[in-house]
Amino acid sequence: MSSTENTRVAIVTGGSGGIGRAVARRLAADGMSVLVHYAGNPARAEEVVEAITAAGGTASAAQADVADETQVAALFDTAEQRYGGVDVVVHTAGVMLLAPLAELDLDDFDRMHRTNVRGTFVVGQQAARRLRRGGALINFSSSVVKIGLVGYTGYAATKGAVDAITLILARELRGRDITVNAVAPGPTATPLFLDGKDEATVDQLAKMAPLERLGVPEDVAETVAFLAGPARWVNGQVLHTNGGVI
C-alpha cells in the first residue's frame, strides 16, 4: 500500500459519508494517496476504497473516534506508515441533531460538541504537529452559522467554534507553509441533510440559492480540491460553498 515518493497523502475524516466520500474520490482522482477514515461503518469505508482503487487510485481505510486523541494520533501513524507522511487533512466528520434551543436535549448538544468541536480540535492538533511543508488542513463549517435557520441553534454553535479554531490555527502555523481553511456548505443533498425532512421542506431549501437547487457532494469536493491543491494563497478563510445562499 506504499505510495511513490512524490505522491501527496491525504487523510479524509468521515470519508465514508456523503461529502467525505466525494472528497476522498476527488483527491484520489487528483493523484493523492487517501486514507479513508470512518467512525463505525467499515463496509461503507471499504466501498469508497474499492471505488478509488477501481479507478486506478490508491486508498485504504482506518477507524478512529475523532474526539479521542489517542485514536486520532494512531490514525495519523497509520497514514505515515502506509504512505510515508501526511500532506492534506480534510475533516468532514460531524454530527447534526436538530431542535429549537428550548427543546434541544442537552445530551444531543454534548454529543455534537464532542464530535464537532472537540473532534475538530483533536484532528487539528495532530494536523498541526504532523503536516509536511506545503500541506493543507481543511475543516468543515456550515453556512447555517450565517443563514440562521430555526432549529439549528446547537449545531450552528458547534460550527461557529470550527470557524474560530480555523482562523486562529492558520495564524499559529506561521512559517510552516501550511494553509488552514474551512468549507461551509449550504443545503447539500446528503443522507445527513435529507434525514427527517419532508419534500416541501427540501424544495424550500433548494430554492434558497439563486441557482435554485441543492448542492451535491461533488460541488463541495471541488472546493476542497482547490484548497488542498492549487490554493496556496487562500489561508485562514471560511469558504461558503452554497450556490449564493448568503
Task: Select which of 38, 83, 152, 155 is catalytic.
Answer: 155
Of the candidates 178, 184, 179, 170, the one whose C-alpha atom is nearest the C-alpha of residue 215 is: 184
* Residue 38 falls in the annotated catalytic set: no
Residue 130's identity, in one-letter code, is: R
Confidence grade of residue 86 (pLDDT, cut at 50, 70, 90): very high
Q: Which three cell numbers stand for residue 181?
A: 481553511
- The CATH topology of domain 9-241 is Rossmann fold (3.40.50)
pLDDT at 5: 59
What is the model's pTM?
0.95
Query: Phi and psi of 173, rounded to 5°?
Result: -95, 20
Out of 109-118, 176-185, 206-215, pick the least confident.
206-215
Q: Please give the radius of gyration of the chain, using alpha carbons only, rounded to the nearest integer.
A: 17
pLDDT at 1: 44
Query: Phi and psi of 215, rounded to 5°?
Result: -70, 165
